[in-house]
Amino acid sequence: MKNISIIDIAKDTIRLESEAIQNLAQLIDDNFEKAVKFILNSKGRVIVTGIGKSANIGTKIVATLNSTGTPAVFMHAADAIHGDLGNVLEDDVVICISKSGNTPEIKVLVPLIKNYGNKIIAITGNIDSFLGKNSDFPLNTFVEKEACPNNLAPTTSTTAQLVMGDALAVCLLELRGFTSSDFAKYHPGGALGKRLYLRVSDLVEKNEAPKVAKTDSIAKVIIEISEKRLGVTAVVENDKIIGIITDGDIRRMLSKTTKIDAFVASDIMGNKAKTIHSDAMAVEALDILENNSISQLLVVDDNNNYAGVVHLHDLIKEGIF
């Protein structure tokens, strides 16, 4: 085996692919803009097709389009000419991906799609190929060479295809005015979705709402904090928050004196409690907790009444932190 550096090979691969992506920006032309506008104004879906490694790239492009507001379906080119062509409906737009643009399946498939009257967007490394010449919007993804030392395994070329697909998706996203709220509709699961739709009220309803009056004894304060297990209690008067006591406040008091009978809640409470509205996004609560280096926030409702506590552990449990 040759004395080669694994790190050097990795760096060369990354360099070659990054140079290909840089060059791709120079290949964007009017056809790209026309393709985006055609998809945007289309009443149908985007059908993405390809074969081999291009097919794998196609499935990712479909996933990106679907998640950003453009309905898309993947159709393998080989399966298309054996029955799956029925997936293509009248108003659909077809994106066909092929490095050479001259594979046998593509040569059979393209005329069939054109006979149906559907427009074809080609993502190809050879715009002079059969696919490039017979498409309505040829998008050039030419690369000088593959990262593979034999210039055979699709590497740089598939990276270019993927980036071109991302460029299409992002343009469509922006033109549609796709917002983070829209994004949340398509990503309701996992930590990402929760960051976009989970509200403080969703967390508070699972917790106790520890509270004491300003004249309550320190013993009662300790019991309230211990029983509710949130490390804090609100000091409330007429349902309004007038202060906050944390387990840290209790420890600091006990480090100075053990004669707790001489004190009441108002003697040790802090009167500048950090609060958040119950309708606020959970991620907003996280920002306040992080920016103030605290673990709990008191929550208020529409009437500014005390509604409960949101704890850093709640956000960790939901995967937001």
> What is the pLDDT, as a whole number, of residue 43?
94
Look at residue 1 and tell me if it is in a domain.
no
Cβ distance 237 to 213 under 8 Å?
yes
Question: Are 81 and 136 in a shared domain?
Answer: yes
Q: How many C-beta neighbours within 10 Å does residue 128 have?
A: 12
Q: Is 275 helix (H, G, I), strand (E, B) or coil?
A: strand
Closest to 125 measured CA to CA, from 107, 138, 113, 108: 138
> What is the pLDDT, as a whole number, of residue 197?
75
Question: Are 14 and 111 in a shared domain?
Answer: yes
Question: Are 20 and 132 in a shared domain?
Answer: yes
Domain final position from 130, 148, 178: 178
pLDDT tens for 7-58 read 999 999 999 999 999 999 999 999 999 999 999 999 999 999 999 999 999 9
Look at residue 150 and tell me if it is in a domain.
yes
Distance CA 317, CA 321 (A): 8
> What is the pLDDT, as a whole number, of residue 259?
82
pTM of structure: 0.68
Distance CA 244, CA 235 (A): 5
Question: Are 152 and 215 in a shared domain?
Answer: no
Question: Are 172 and 267 in a shared domain?
Answer: no
Look at residue 107 and tell me if it is in a domain.
yes
Distance CA 29, CA 169 (A): 16
> What is the pLDDT, as a whole number, of residue 193?
65
Question: Are 137 and 238 in a shared domain?
Answer: no
Beta strands in 83-202 (DSSP E): 93-98, 120-124, 137-140
List, in order, residues 6 or more apart from 61 with CB less than 8 Å away: 48, 72, 95, 97, 162, 165, 166, 168, 169
> What is the pLDDT, as a whole number, of residue 3?
65
pLDDT tens for 172-202 read 999 999 877 677 677 666 656 666 678 999 9
- Name the DSSP letter for residue 272: -
The pair of three-digit structure tokens given for residue 214, joined into one six-digit string: 């300003």
Residue 294, classified by CB atoms within 10 Å of its CB into exposed (0-12), middle (13-18) or buried (19+), is: middle
Q: How confident is the model at residue 320 (pLDDT cuts 50, 70, 90)?
A: confident
> What is the pLDDT, as a whole number, of residue 179?
78
Look at residue 153 and tell me if it is in a domain.
yes
Count of domains forming the chain = 2
Tell whether the model's pLDDT for residue 1 goes beyond 60: no
Between strands 93-98 and 120-124, the pairing is parallel
Q: Is 240 helix (H, G, I), strand (E, B) or coil?
A: strand
| CATH label of the domain that carries residue 63 | 3.40.50.10490
- The C-alpha angle with vertex 56 and arms to 141 and 67, in degrees rounded to 5, equals 90
> What is the pLDDT, as a whole number, of residue 151?
84
What percent of the chain stands above pLDDT 70?
A: 94
Look at residue 183 and tell me if it is in a domain.
no
Mean per-residue pLDDT, 270-295:
91
Residue 159, classified by CB atoms within 10 Å of its CB into exposed (0-12), middle (13-18) or buried (19+), is: buried
Question: Are 205 and 266 in a shared domain?
Answer: yes
Strand partners, 124: 98, 140
Out of 38-42, 193-197, 232-236, 299-303, least confident range: 193-197
Q: Is 313 helix (H, G, I), strand (E, B) or coil?
A: helix
Question: Are 12 and 147 in a shared domain?
Answer: yes
Q: Which residue range forms the structural domain that includes residue 289?
A: 200-317
Look at residue 186 and tell me if it is in a domain.
no
pLDDT tens for 120-155 read 999 999 999 999 999 999 999 999 999 888 888 899
List, in order, residues 6 or more apart from 71 with CB less than 8 Å away: 45, 46, 65
